[in-house]
Amino acid sequence: MNLRQFFREDLADLKPYHVDQPPHRVKLDANESPFNLPAEIRQEITEAMSQLKFQRYPDAGSTLLRTQLSEQLEVDKEQIVVGNGSDELIGNFMLAFGQSDGCVSFPTPTFSMYQILAQIARLKAVGRPLNERFDLNAEEWDFHLNTNAINLVFISYPNNPTGNNFSAEIIRQMLSRSDTLVILDEAYYEFSEQTFLKERGRYPNLIITRTFSKAYGLAGLRVGYLIAHPEIIHEINKVRLPYNVNRFSQIAATTLLRCQNRFSPQIQLILSERERLFKALKATRGLHPFPTDANFILFRTDSPAKQVFQSLLAHGVLVRDLDRPGPLKNCLRVTVGTPMENNLFLEGLGSRR
């Protein structure tokens, strides 16, 4: 039997998502939190898990977690949906709102999953290049959106991998359009403290996604959430898989929200270390860091980036190699780690020959 006759031709050039993980001592390549959960929080999660009836399905609507998020964010819980990571919710959104005469749009470079999920959903997808300051070009975006009947615009805010927040005024111009839904991916909100959350009432076409993977160190359990108008939430729930967030993840996330103040010192340490790393990179000959609002720093190298990447790896430090033709030529991205991890990173840069 020729199995290829069943394959989708439009996925022929799509490669499975994969990130190389060569041997290393320090992992600074994935924008994860460098901190494990505090011992007392892990103990509380363990005790809650011991009471679970594993033979029962989880709460299909993650009701307790949505209730706690509702109280924290001052948002009605009917405007919140929880997912197996914010990636799942972005995919659900495309399935619910993608139309044949519509277009999925996003700036480039940005988070790769917008393109991948649009292709999986059989949607037209167009990336619009950022300007030389890694910001949006208002005129280009206005012209582009005018060419489509329906627009689904995905904005990483702050943007990954450039680290900066885009012009809020240009985003508001997009939100003022009646033919456009704007999805703001605020995965790094805790590090930027810039959000459009308070503008929901003004813009019913505004959708915000956030995650527990970054500031709260829950990347291994995959918990994200989406905030939007109740009618949008209703449509997303039509395509969302039942029981999409397991019991363990729901318990861990609700526990973290109750103990949220425990994470403030960690976030502040990351912010201070971010400043220290940025200054050190800026003072290092041949390296050019870009301003950032996230928990990572993009920097360009005068020498070939792959040589710098391999030199760091030889020192035991893994960063993300983003070197490719275009605006990311000779660029690497480093996640802000613990002081010790950051020192090893800087030592690795200093040991280059």
Say which residues have a Cβ less than 8 Å from residue 222's Cβ, sequence separation at least 6: 84, 85, 88, 213, 249
In single-letter form, the type of residue at position 241 comes to: L
- How does the average pLDDT of the chain come out, rounded? 95
Q: What is the CATH number of the domain that holds 226?
A: 3.40.640.10
Instruction: Specify the CATH number for the domain of residue 30.
Output: 3.90.1150.10
In a domain, 202, yes or no: yes
Closest CA to 247 of 65, 58, 83, 61: 58
Q: What distance in Å separates the CA atoms of residue 223 and residue 80, rounded to the nearest whole number?
A: 13
Asked if residue 60 and residue 25 are part of one domain, the reply reads no
3-state secondary structure of 79: helix
Please tell me the number of Cα atoms within 13 Å of 49 on its side-chain side: 12
Residue 147's CB: how many other CB atoms inside 10 A?
9
Enclosing domain of residue 189:
53-258
Q: Write down the number of H helices and E strands in the chain.
A: 12, 13
Select the more confidently predicted residue: 238 or 12.
Answer: 238
Strands 26-27, 80-83: parallel, antiparallel or unpaired by DSSP? unpaired
Q: Do 272 and 158 sit in the same domain of this protein?
A: no
158: cis peptide before it, omega within 30°?
yes
pLDDT at residue 260 in the model: 86
The kind and range of the H/E element at 74 are none
Q: How far apart are CA 61 and CA 23, in angstroms?
A: 40
Model pLDDT, residue 353: 52
212: three-class secondary structure by DSSP: coil
Give how far Cα 182 sits from Cα of 33, 40, 145, 175, Å: 27, 39, 12, 6
Do 206 and 286 fall into the same domain? Answer: no
Please report, rounded to a whole number, the percentage of residues in the chain having pLDDT higher than 90. 90
List Cβ neighbours of 78 (8 Å cut-off, separation of 6 or more). 230, 233
Domain count, the chain: 2
Categorize the per-residue pLDDT at 351 as very low, low, confident or very high, splitting at 50, 70 and 90. Answer: low
212 φ/ψ angles, rounded to the nearest 5 degrees: -95, 0
- Whether 104 and 235 share a structural domain: yes
Q: Are residues 229 and 339 in the same domain?
A: no
- Reported as a single tens digit per residue, the pLDDT across 107-123 is 999 999 999 999 999 99
Question: Tens of pLDDT along 77-134?
Answer: 999 999 999 999 999 999 999 999 999 999 999 999 999 999 999 999 999 999 999 9
Q: Rounded to two decimals, what is the model's pTM?
A: 0.95
